[in-house]
């Protein structure tokens, strides 16, 4: 081997050694520096040393994350503070992870990135601890304030008319969705305000379905001795009736037709006014005052026909609603068991 070749080889070895030492020295000086392209919770910490990175994270991530979280619905505002949540952030842990990511690839990889200008594209999620129970309490509180039950459409009977009452939809907070939104917002400094997810709860009986629910309805006006029948919430027909005499008042309130019978048997109440017939079952005939039809209402009281038409328009019965025979037959054919009846 010629002397010149030896000198060249020795020079190459020397340069290589010196270069390696310089690379090692350079790399060691950057062990506390975060690689370009690394972010923590969206905060760029590339090229920063530990202390500077901590300061950057504290200012641009932790401080915003500790701001009050607000949930709105309509004019309602609900606030959740970092103090209530007992928020705790691990700044050191996040910076340490950024430094560890920066060291990946070994010396050759770090050297290549330095020479080529290649960045480490890596995003570190915020390390945040908080009270899950407090989040649950917050979401439950919002639900308790906003939630409302739906109201079915119904009717409001009175002496004058049968008044429809419109349905009302209810509200229900989607607690699972809201909880997820709150938990995601806790990790996002840009999101400190959000809307509650609220679903409309429809009633079982809508206003449009009201007539279908009440195809027939009866109102007995004791003061005017009238029975009024409504079909599909509209006045169908009115009849003159007799009601219970003083001491035997026809029971006021809301009931329904409990039973129907053609040529009914009279099960005589075991009462003093019934005399010798008390407790007996009287078949159709002269001694049975329940003429033609029977529509039971409540506790022995009902609607029936009578031959004593002179009593109609007065308080004359022992609690029942009396009708002319032709009228009771007509009404009987128009109503079913379950038809609501309001006695005022």
**73: CB partners within 8 A, 6+ apart:** 142, 146, 195, 196, 198
pTM of the model: 0.65
pLDDT tens digits, one per residue of 226-242:
999 999 999 999 999 99
Q: What does the alpha-carbon distance between residue 165 and residue 162 come to, in Å, rounded to a whole number?
A: 10
- Residues with Cβ within 8 Å of 156's Cβ and at least 6 positions away in sequence, in order, are 162, 163, 164, 165
Look at residue 23 in the predicted model and tell me its pLDDT: 46
Q: Is the pLDDT of residue 41 over 60?
A: yes
DSSP assignment, residue 125?
A: P
Residue closest to 283 by CA, chosen among 268, 266, 269: 266
> For position 26, what pLDDT does the model report?
45
Q: Exposed/middle/buried for 75, CB within 10 Å: 0-12, 13-18, 19+?
A: exposed
Task: Write out pLDDT tens, residues 47-89.
Answer: 899 999 999 999 999 999 999 999 999 999 999 999 999 999 9
Burial class for 80, CB neighbours closer than 10 Å (0-12, 13-18, 19+): buried
Mean pLDDT, the chain, whole residue set: 89
Rounded CA-CA distance 308/317 in Å is 10
Structural domains of the chain ordered from first start: 133-208 (no CATH), 214-343 (2.40.440.10)
pLDDT tens profile 297-342: 998 899 999 999 999 999 999 999 999 999 999 999 999 999 999 9
**Residue 278 pLDDT grade (very low, low, confident, very high; cuts 50, 70, 90):** confident
How far apart, in Å, are the Cα atoms of 47 and each of 11, 18, 106, 169?
Answer: 35, 26, 18, 57
Q: Does residue 112 surpass a pLDDT of 60?
A: no
């Amino acid at each position: 081997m010629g002397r010149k070749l030896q000198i060249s080889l020795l020079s190459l070895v020397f340069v290589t050694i010196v270069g390696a030492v310089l690379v090692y020295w350079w790399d060691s000086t950057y062990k506390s520096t975060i690689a370009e392209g690394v972010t923590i919770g969206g905060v760029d910490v590339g090229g920063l040393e530990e202390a500077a990175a901590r300061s950057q994270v504290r200012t641009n991530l932790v401080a915003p994350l500790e701001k009050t979280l607000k949930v709105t619905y309509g004019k309602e505002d609900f606030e959740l503070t970092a103090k209530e949540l007992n928020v705790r952030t691990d700044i050191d842990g996040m910076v340490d992870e950024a430094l560890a990511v920066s060291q990946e690839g070994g010396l050759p990889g770090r050297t290549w990135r330095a020479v080529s200008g290649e960045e480490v594209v890596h995003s570190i999620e915020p390390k945040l601890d908080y009270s899950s129970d407090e989040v649950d309490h917050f979401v439950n509180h919002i639900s308790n304030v906003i939630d409302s039950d739906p109201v079915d459409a119904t009717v409001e009977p009175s002496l004058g008319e049968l008044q429809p009452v419109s349905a009302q939809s209810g509200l229900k907070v989607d607690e699972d969705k809201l909880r997820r939104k709150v938990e995601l917002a806790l990790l996002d400094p840009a999101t400190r305000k959000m809307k509650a997810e609220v679903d409309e709860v429809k009633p079982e009986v809508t206003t449009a379905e009201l007539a279908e629910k009440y195809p027939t309805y009866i109102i007995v006006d004791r003061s005017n001795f009238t029975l009024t029948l409504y079909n599909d919430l509209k006045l169908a027909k009115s009849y003159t009736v007799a009601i219970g005499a003083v001491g035997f008042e026809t029971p006021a309130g809301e009931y329904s037709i409990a039973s129907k019978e053609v040529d009914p048997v009279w099960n005589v109440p075991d009462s003093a006014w019934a005399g010798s017939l008390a407790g007996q079952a009287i078949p159709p005939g002269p001694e049975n005052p329940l003429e033609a039809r029977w529509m039971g209402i409540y506790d022995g009281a009902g609607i029936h026909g009578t031959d004593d038409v002179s009593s109609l328009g007065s308080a004359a019965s022992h609690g029942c609603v009396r009708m002319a025979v032709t009228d009771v037959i007509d009404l009987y054919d128009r109503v079913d068991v379950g038809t609501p009846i309001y006695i005022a």
